[in-house]
Structure 1
Amino acid sequence: MQELGRLDDLPLAYRESLEAQNLVPLWPSLRSVLPPGTPARRTQAVKWSYAALRPLLIQAGELTPIEKAERRVLVLSNPGHGLEKMQASAAIYLGMQLLLPGEWAPAHKHTPNAVRMIVEGEGAYTTVDGEKCPMHRGDLILTPTGLWHEHGHDGEDPVVWLDVLDLPLVYYTETSYATEGQEQAVTGTRLERNYARGGVVPSPVFTRGSARTYPMLRYPWADARSALLNLAEAQPDVEAVQVAYVNPESGNDCQNILGFSALMLRPGETLPLPARSPAMVFHVIEGGAEVCADDKTFSLAPADTCCTPGYVPVTLKNPSPSEPAFIFIADESPLHKKLGVYEVRA
């Protein structure tokens, strides 16, 4: 490949003239912004141990009242991007959020899309756009862009969930902001039951149909788990026992930027995944898993989380010879497909 000129090859007076006009020569930096063959990646393969972070999260509850925090979160930062950037990958933000009994995290709405994967505890709820969504371990709750949402806790023990947002991308585009609001009036609960059976949804034939862009806000873990077990039983030779979280009326991804799915690893199963352009996040709901990527191997226990960069193959393994493992996955696939840069490499 042809060697390009460097910035310091240019006379100082010429460089100063460029700078005075807010001009920058491209050729000295061309290889860094368009590297040959494979993108330059900041995202590193990294693991966050729930056993290690949970005491710190509980301590945060002791040190900072909810009134001083609004959202009591420990951000899972990828060191490749710098801890101060508070991002797990180029487009994914992760945070572990704590809500204690009797607390209420006030209503707001924001431009980034968010989901909540419930990690532990009972008695909490999220109210989204007037729909009260109970929070049980393994449930996925959407708080899409522009929808009011708040969190409350009527139970007796701490409740923890994993936040997944497209905040890095929205922040990069200079469109990230939040609006504070008042406590919402509850206008509906358990609306996800309208979509409890695949292929059967409320019909708009004799009505004007739903005006909701996101008709389903809560995806109960009991339903997703049952679907995975049924898929494994009905198709024992299927390559991957995986279900996607989608909009039940359109079949599209449940949100616009990030994709979400649940995977079951059968006892003793090893699942090789091809190198794809999007980064991925793996969070263990039940069981355990080994994740190998980018010359690193992580052993994941329940509630552990790891991130893998794009363009590298990933291997998942269930070390248990007798019990399945259930994993929640978030990735950047919808974004890459919309941009036309989605890629799978052999």
Structure 2
Amino acid sequence: MNFSKELQQFHERLEEQNLGPLWASIHDLNTIEPKAKPIPYLWKRELIERNLEEAEHLLEVGNGLDRRALFLINPGMKDLKPVGWGGATQTLYAAVQAVRPGEVAPAHRHTTTAVRFVMKGQGAYGRVNGEKFAFEPGDYLITPTWTWHDHTNLGNETVYWMDCLDSPFTMYLNVCFTEFYPEKQQKLLVPDDYSTKRYQGGMIRPISDREPSIAPLGRYKWDFTKKGIEGLSQFAPDPYDGFAMEYINPSNGKDANDRIGARMQMLPPKFSGKAHRHVHSNVYHVYKGSGYTIMNGVRFDWSEGDFFALPAWTWHEHVNVSAADEAWLFSTNDLPIMEAFGFERVEAYEENGGYQPIKEIFQPLI
């Protein structure tokens, strides 16, 4: 809209007085559809690992240093430092954490909720609210809001895992509280892997968990996840996501973690998914395999160890390029938040048989 010189000058005077003209900005506030500030983006494994290795030589965890983790900064949100700046999407922070043999990441708790996916390495353990869990590749572990948690590595090799927190969300709302435990590690209250052992039966639960609780199961073992998807793969794949399952809280049927959803999906050889979009955003980690994802017409090629961000309301489709090997994608999402507020919508791509034309190919930093 074109404004007269006098009206533009009036707008400038309003800004100096910390006031704003709705008539000049209403279409930016009430958009026809969501306009995500984060952008589709991909981080290569080689880049992350090279910098983490350098960090391993430069600093030691435990002596005044809580965590050795590199977080993913979405280029679309760099101007939001520090609020939102550390987010892979507008609500999700994602990082790769490395713990060397003998190190202890001290215990603390915060209102921000957190999840972890173990990428590689043996010998690490975590404690959550008095329970000790083994960390094995492929495991998914939760740290719901205000639960004590610490990590250690009792093995002989560095262990790497993905962290995902809703810190951009809690920081934006100014609701982040943190408390540090008086000792490096919290006291153990139950036997090791207590909740994991109680839920070995799969989709049956102890009668004591009939009443909903925030974390009746803290560790979701890779063997169980893989077995579940293998069972699902006996049938036709979902046209958009292949064979996908989400981690749930067995006491209430909702997402395993309180404000962050998580899924594991397997794309069979030569799978070419159709495109759709939804309001919730995702952060993907390529656990195994190689392929590409088209986001808003841009092709993002990925391979094992890579990460990529899928912002809200972004057209996307996944492709497994291998004719022989499966591709496994772990992802986190903010769907629990979107559903809680009634914001979630999903739309299928109707043109070209459901497949996006590729306009360009993303060139990642190496």
TM-score, normalised by the number of residues in structure 1? 0.91
Please say if residues 290 and 318 of structure 1, whose CA atoms lie closer than 8 Å, have aligned partners that are also in contact: yes
- Aligned 1:101-140 pairs, distance under 5 A: 101-140=101-140
Distance 1:210 1:61, change over 3 A: farther
For residue 244 of structure 1, the aligned residue among 230, 243, 246 is 246
1:62 matched to 2:57? The reply is: yes
Offset of residue 68 of structure 1: 4.3
Q: What CA deviation, in whole Å up to 9, does each residue of 1:264-289 have, x standing for no partner?
A: 11111112241111222211112223
SS at 2:96's partner residue?
A: strand
Matched to 2:176, the amino acid is: S
Instruction: State the match for 1:280 in structure 2.
Output: 282
CA distance in 2, matches of 1:33, 1:110: 32
CA distance in 2, matches of 1:211, 1:32: 41
SS at 2:116's partner residue?
A: strand
Please say if residues 32 and 40 of structure 1, whose CA atoms lie closer than 8 Å, have aligned partners that are also in contact: no
Instruction: State the match for 2:20 in structure 1.
Output: 24
Instruction: State the match for 2:225 in structure 1.
Output: 224
Instruction: State the match for 1:51 in structure 2.
Output: 46
Distance 1:221 1:104, change over 3 A: same
Q: What CA deviation, in whole Å up to 9, does each residue of 1:193-226 have, x standing for no partner?
A: 222334310013xxx8668421011111111011
Please say if residues 277 and 314 of structure 2, whose CA atoms lie closer than 8 Å, have aligned partners that are also in contact: yes
Please say if residues 14 and 20 of structure 2, whose CA atoms lie closer than 8 Å, have aligned partners that are also in contact: no
Matched to 2:215, the amino acid is: Y
CA distance in 2, matches of 1:321, 1:48: 25
Instruction: State the match for 1:86 in structure 2.
Output: 86
Please say if residues 77 and 88 of structure 1, whose CA atoms lie closer than 8 Å, have aligned partners that are also in contact: yes
Please say if residues 126 and 152 of structure 2, whose CA atoms lie closer than 8 Å, have aligned partners that are also in contact: yes
Matched to 1:56, the amino acid is: N
CA distance in 2, matches of 1:6, 1:186: 70
CA distance in 2, matches of 1:184, 1:319: 46
Instruction: State the match for 2:198 in structure 1.
Output: 194
Instruction: State the match for 1:42 in structure 2.
Output: 37
Offset of residue 41 of structure 1: 1.6
Instruction: State the match for 1:331 in structure 2.
Output: 333
CA distance in 2, matches of 1:7, 1:114: 51
Aligned length: 337
Offset of residue 156 of structure 1: 0.7
Instruction: State the match for 1:322 in structure 2.
Output: 324
CA distance in 2, matches of 1:215, 1:333: 21
What residue ranges of structure 2 are gaps of 5+ in the alignment? Answer: 349-366
Distance 1:223 1:4, change over 3 A: farther
CA distance in 2, matches of 1:30, 1:175: 28
Please say if residues 192 and 218 of structure 1, whose CA atoms lie closer than 8 Å, have aligned partners that are also in contact: yes
CA distance in 1, matches of 2:196, 2:70: 29
Distance 1:267 1:15, change over 3 A: closer
Distance 1:92 1:152, change over 3 A: same
Matched to 2:203, the amino acid is: G
- Aligned 1:169-318 pairs, distance under 5 A: 169-181=169-181, 182=183, 183-188=185-190, 189-190=192-193, 191-204=195-208, 212-233=213-234, 235-236=235-236, 238-239=238-239, 240-318=242-320
Distance 1:333 1:5, change over 3 A: farther
Cα RMSD (Å): 2.1
Please say if residues 127 and 133 of structure 2, whose CA atoms lie closer than 8 Å, have aligned partners that are also in contact: yes
Please say if residues 262 and 327 of structure 1, whose CA atoms lie closer than 8 Å, have aligned partners that are also in contact: yes
Q: What CA deviation, in whole Å up to 9, does each residue of 1:73-92 have, x standing for no partner?
A: 11111000117411111100
Offset of residue 237 of structure 1: 5.2
Offset of residue 230 of structure 1: 1.4
Matched to 2:104, the amino acid is: W
